[in-house]
Structure 1
Amino acid sequence: MALIGANGAGKSTLLISIFGQPRIASGEIRLRGEPISQRSTHFIAASGIAQAPEGRRIFPDMTVEENLLMGTFATLICKMQ
């Protein structure tokens, strides 16, 4: 997915709202047709949604894709337990 817009248009706010931080005041966010607006951040991450914050270079020697895949390890561990 790509999210494009002018500075101040709300791109970052939208992305962090998808993760539930902060909770949205109105409307609904859906994943595969199911509402996730009130679900926990843990549930959202376990559903496969990941974010690599701009400029933070969490693992600087890895690609964006590799950084995002690092977030899937928590999902795999939960499923194995």
Structure 2
Amino acid sequence: MTKTLHAMVKNGPESLMRITGLMKRRGCEVKSLRLELDEDSSMSTLVITLGANDDEMDNIIMQMRRFQDVFQLIEKYN
């Protein structure tokens, strides 16, 4: 299954490293990754398209919501 996640994250390399590290540990296929700077330079919008089964996707979403650097997370099915 392919799902796109839109996350409002703290701007900085640490946030991106934490999130991509999670994908690597879970063995998730990252199909696309886009990071856009928001009007407020302390925040960025991260758009990730992932390929994973339902259980893996649920675990990834649950863990991303626990990160202090992730302020908002929206899931969209493709």
Bin the TM-score by the shorter chain. Answer: under 0.3
TM-score by length of 1: 0.25
Structure of larger gyration radius: 1
Normalized per residue, which structure has more strand? Answer: 2
